[in-house]
């Protein structure tokens, strides 16, 4: 059975060495699914610069803002969220039909299935250049996408050729998509960036740690807790950036909206490595780089932890035994000659268990104007 990583699809970020914060993005992900436990049959989310701003799902059936500053949109459009709700209700119905059509195309009946539509635009606030896209996938694999430069559809799967031929003929619709991705989407992106500029343009530096599983394992440089996502993490030797013997890890989100990433140094280190190797982190909007010198004494290691556990496993019982011997001797003496007023102490069994704290996440979100979803999935022939 195919596997899904929904968040991996929802969040698309790039690590580059040029970390100037000039590229902004507005991305929408619509997911229609069948027979997936704990997942709404239809879910739509929106992101600005990797920050979730909007959500609609088939359970709540209401479009909501995920950031307080997104509610500024109602100052100029009081009915904005009601409109987004109606658009997504329509998209939800279309998506149900499209799943059934896709199943027929792939000669499938029951089981777990999913259609995802990923669309959005990017805007360079220095050059004012914009770029838009729309990709559709079925069961986690690319299905069909829209080429904004040619206004034609690209069928990735043979089963998508029928849709391609049909959609290529719909000139009015394709011109609308061109207008949406080149004009409407960027205009909303600029609005949303202006609403949340203080939040989106903030910088948070990470905690950088050096990790190693065993003495023969690669040394991992781990940076966690940084924002924005546009960053660079790499190893240097004698002041020169290393490309060979370095493996980059994924850029991953943290629960608090920050990010983490890793760079694995796989080279065999010389005896004088500590004075020659260093891990470097660069963050968009921050002029100075963070440099962590290689110091074997500061490397966190599972090997050391295991060794500590073994040591504790031996030392602790011996220590307890050393403490118990005098106690046993004392108890034997008391057993032989107990005092007249001796009585055993009783344990207080009424002490309550500590209560666990429940933390709930507020259910809020927004959406930008979304193009009608008549083509949110495969189309009937």
Q: Domain-by-domain residue ranges, the chain?
A: 6-200, 207-301
Task: Say how far apart CA 72 and CA 51 lie, in whole Å.
Answer: 16
Task: Say how far apart CA 46 and CA 356 lie, in whole Å.
Answer: 33
Task: Say how far apart CA 153 and CA 135 lie, in whole Å.
Answer: 10
Task: Say how far apart CA 139 and CA 47 lie, in whole Å.
Answer: 22
Looking at the DSSP bridge assignments, the partners of residue 102 are none
Enumerate residues 6+ apart whose C-beta is below 8 A from 310: none
pLDDT tens for the chain, 381 residues: list them. Answer: 444 444 444 443 444 444 454 689 999 999 999 888 888 999 999 999 989 999 999 999 999 999 999 999 999 999 999 999 999 999 999 999 999 999 999 999 888 999 999 999 999 988 999 999 999 999 999 999 999 999 999 999 999 999 999 999 999 999 999 999 999 999 999 999 999 999 998 999 999 999 999 888 999 999 999 999 889 999 999 999 999 999 999 999 898 889 999 999 998 888 889 889 999 999 988 999 999 999 988 899 865 444 444 344 444 444 444 444 444 334 333 433 333 332 222 222 222 322 222 222 222 222 333 333 333 333 333
pLDDT, position 72: 96
Enumerate residues 6+ apart whose C-beta is below 8 A from 369: 83, 84, 184, 188
DSSP assignment string, 163-221: HHHHHHT-HHHHHHHHHIIIIIHHHHHHHHHHHTHHHHT--BPPEEEEEESSTTSPEEE
Task: Quickly tell me which residue has 């990010």 as its tokens.
Answer: 259
DSSP 62: -
* Superfamily classification of domain 6-200: MHC class I-like antigen recognition-like (3.30.500.10)
Task: Say how far apart CA 184 and CA 178 lie, in whole Å.
Answer: 9
354 token code pair: 């500590």
The secondary element (H helix, E strand) that includes residue 322 is helix 302-336
For residue 241, CA distances in Å to 16, 231, 234 come to: 14, 15, 7
Strands in 306-378 per DSSP E:
none
Architecture of the domain delimited by 207-301? Sandwich (2.60)
The secondary element (H helix, E strand) that includes residue 264 is strand 259-265
Report the predicted TM-score, pTM, of the whole model to 2 decimal places. Answer: 0.67
Q: Among residues 110, 95, 102, 106, which one has the least CA distance to residue 41?
A: 95
């Amino acid at each position: 059975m195919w596997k899904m990583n929904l968040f991996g699809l929802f969040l698309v970020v790039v690590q580059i060495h040029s970390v100037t914060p000039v590229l902004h993005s507005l991305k929408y992900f619509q997911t229609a699914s069948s027979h997936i436990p704990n997942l709404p049959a239809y879910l739509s989310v929106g992101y600005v610069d990797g920050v979730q701003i909007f959500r609609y799902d088939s359970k709540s059936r209401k479009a909501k803002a995920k950031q307080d500053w997104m509610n500024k949109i109602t100052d100029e459009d009081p009915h904005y969220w009601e409109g987004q709700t109606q658009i997504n209700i329509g998209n939800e119905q279309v998506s149900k039909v499209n799943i059934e059509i896709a199943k027929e195309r792939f000669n499938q009946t029951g089981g777990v299935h999913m259609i995802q539509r990923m669309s959005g635009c990017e805007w360079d606030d220095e050059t004012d250049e914009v770029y838009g896209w729309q990709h559709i996938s079925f069961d986690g694999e690319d299905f069909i996408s829209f080429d904004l430069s040619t206004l034609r559809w690209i069928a990735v799967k043979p089963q998508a050729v029928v849709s391609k031929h049909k959609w290529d003929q719909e000139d009015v619709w394709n011109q609308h998509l061109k207008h949406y991705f080149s004009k409407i989407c960027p205009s909303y992106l600029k609005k949303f960036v202006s609403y949340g500029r203080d939040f989106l343009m903030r910088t948070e530096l990470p905690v950088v740690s050096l990790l190693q599983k065993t003495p023969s394992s690669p040394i991992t440089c781990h940076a966690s807790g940084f924002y924005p996502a546009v960053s660079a993490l790499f190893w240097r030797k004698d002041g020169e950036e290393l490309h060979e013997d370095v493996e980059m890890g994924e850029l991953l989100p943290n629960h608090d909206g920050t990010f983490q990433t890793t760079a694995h140094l796989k080279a065999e280190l010389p005896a004088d490595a500590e004075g020659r190797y260093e891990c470097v982190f660069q963050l968009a909007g921050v002029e100075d780089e963070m440099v962590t010198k290689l110091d074997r004494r500061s490397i966190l290691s599972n090997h050391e932890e295991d060794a500590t556990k073994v040591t504790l496993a031996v030392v602790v019982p011996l220590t307890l035994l050393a403490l118990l011997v005098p106690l046993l001797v004392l108890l034997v003496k008391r057993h032989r000659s107990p005092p007249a007023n001796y009585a055993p102490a009783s344990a207080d069994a009424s002490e309550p268990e500590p209560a666990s704290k429940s933390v709930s996440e507020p259910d809020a979100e927004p959406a930008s104007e979304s193009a009608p979803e008549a083509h949110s999935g495969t189309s009937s022939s």
